[in-house]
Amino acid sequence: MKSLHLRTIIQFPAMTNKRKRSQKHTPPPPPPSTPPTPQTQARHSLNTAKARAWAPLSLTRHELSLPLTFPTGQTFLWKNTAPSQYTGVVGPHLISLKHLQNGDVSYCLHSPSHSDTAETALLDFLNATVSLADLWKTFSASDARFAELAHHLSGARVLRQDPFECLIQFLCSSNNNIGRITKMVNYVSSLGTHVGDVGEFQFHAFPSLEQLSSVSEQQLRDAGFGYRAKYIIGTINALKSKPGGGEEWLRSLRKMELRDVISALCTLPGVGPKVAACIALFSLDQHHAVPVDTHVWRIATKYLLPELAGSQLTPKLCDRVAEAFVTKYGKYAGWAQTLLFIAELPSQKALLPSHLLTVKQRNAAKIEGSEEEVGKKSNFNLSILTL
């Protein structure tokens, strides 16, 4: 957000606090009213939201840590709009979440209506009925390392996203980096209805299957999607042919067994076992789904299946890794895997004691330390030169 520059007010000596009488002045008539534009409506909506008080969400930091939940690969649509604050869209609702000084979570609804349904939708999106305290207690009883990690990384929660929104995001994530995934997901989102601006970010309700049906493969390729454009358009066409509608078909997978869910999702163009497991875990209530990639494979061979260290990851071994997680952590194994995955991210090294850091995290810390030391020496040399 651009900072405001205060203009200096110059007071001339001849001026006093007393006001001189002046002739009556008739103000000019107001200009004719013009209909509000979508931009002015959005700004009005945002100003209305700013004037509203933040409401408590009845979730402590131990139940929901915003920085350990939103920027960790589950969704690429929520933005860090202020310190300790993240903003995103749940259904038609533009919502900001932030941590209070005591760590509790509060929310602000950036719209003048639908306040009754917004909190219900938000709590559903946050999987709020699942108690992290209970899960962490169960996991920690069978895994001393998990217990120590959870102590430093409490509040890492698995989201319950809209299945279609989650599917399209993870089609963009295949063999990709976070920066490019975010750019692609933002493009798709921009095709939906604009619901408001917060800070420098524009927010849109994620487009429906019907809205995305009008997008061409060439349009996505021109936007930088590469070969993923073919898969997204193919998946959209496949969903359109589902009886009862593709979005309803996706939601119906929540009632099925995980193996059947993975098989059903893998019939869609561009969806493989790992992407299917991500969609199952983050949107379809398949809490024991374990997305296996090279990072999870490294965790498994180090702590769960050391006898497989040095082996090449194959589809059969992916199944064995997933089974090992379920054996260790039970029906919420996907939640345990999520915390273990987050603990491996270089961005979390500042939260962990040195003995819990991975080799990659230690190396990153050394590089940062060296750069900081170089910076200090440069500043010292500069100060000598300027004496």
Active site residues: 274
Rg of the chain over Cα atoms, rounded to whole angstroms, equals 26
369 φ/ψ angles, rounded to the nearest 5 degrees:
-65, -40
Structure tokens at 89: 């869209």
Distance of CA 233 to the CA centre of its chain: 24
CA–CA gap between residue 132 and residue 174 (Å, rounded): 29
Indicate the DSSP class of residue 113.
Answer: S
- Could you count the other beta carbons within 10 Å of the beta carbon of residue 66? 19
The Cα–Cα gap between 126 and 337 comes to 18
Residue 280 contacts residue 287 (beta carbons within 8 Å): no
User: Reduced to 3 states, what is the DSSP secondary structure of residue 15?
Assistant: coil
* 89 backbone dihedrals φ, ψ, rounded to 5°: -115, 130
Q: Report phi then psi at 318, rounded to 5.
A: -60, -45
Cα distance between residue 51 and residue 53, in whole Å? 7
DSSP 34: -
